[in-house]
């Protein structure tokens, strides 16, 4: 079962999680990063690396952030990207629940 990135990443995107991921399954969208559920090997390395505490195991996503489980899945259906987040670079697409959020001032 994969890990999930949630709202705390929106407009932060410091990529600390990406640097730790041995499966290269974290991809950079327009306003947040997304974990490909088909590529994640469930190692857990990304969770403690996140300064925003935005990463959760899929079974432990807080109720108020539960829409992000589907958001991480649909991102890869809509953006049609796979085979490595580092090579993919920035993808100018976001899940709908992310696109409608007000811009966060860092
Ligand atoms: S759990 Fe491991 S494989 Fe999955 S996204 Fe996090 S670092 Fe990558
Ligand atoms: S470490 Fe957290 S805030 Fe930084 S890019 Fe990854 S999920 Fe987003």
- Give residue-wise pLDDT tens across range 21-72: 999 999 999 999 999 999 999 999 999 999 999 999 999 999 999 999 999 9
Least distant ligand from the CA of 7? 2
Between CA 34 and CA 91, with CA 105 as vertex, the angle to 5 degrees is 30
Which residues lie closer than 8 Å to 80 by C-beta, 6 or more apart?
A: none
On whether residue 83 sits in a domain, the answer given is: yes
Burial class (CB in 10 A: 0-12, 13-18, 19+), 102: exposed
On whether residue 88 sits in a domain, the answer given is: yes
Measured CA to CA, the distance from residue 67 to residue 52 in angstroms comes to 18
Percent pLDDT > 70 in the chain is 98
Percent pLDDT > 90 in the chain is 92
On whether residue 98 sits in a domain, the answer given is: no
Q: Is 33 in contact with 23 (CB distance < 8 Å)?
A: no
Domain span including residue 18: 3-93
The answer, yes or no, to whether residue 20 has pLDDT greater than 80, is yes
Please choose from 11, 14, 40 the residue to mutate so as to test ligand 2's pocket, defined by most ligand atoms within 8 A of CB: 14
Give the total number of structural domains in the chain.
Answer: 1
């Amino acid at each position: 079962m994969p890990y999930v990135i949630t709202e705390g990443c929106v407009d932060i995107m410091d990529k600390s999680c990406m640097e730790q991921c041995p499966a290269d399954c974290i991809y950079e969208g327009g306003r947040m990063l997304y974990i490909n559920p088909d590529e994640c090997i469930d190692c857990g390395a990304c969770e403690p690396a996140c300064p925003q505490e935005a990463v959760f195991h899929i079974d432990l996503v807080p109720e108020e952030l539960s829409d992000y489980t589907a958001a991480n899945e649909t991102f890869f259906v809509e953006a049609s990207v796979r085979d490595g987040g580092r090579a993919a670079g920035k993808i100018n697409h976001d899940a709908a629940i992310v696109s409608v959020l007000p811009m966060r001032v860092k």
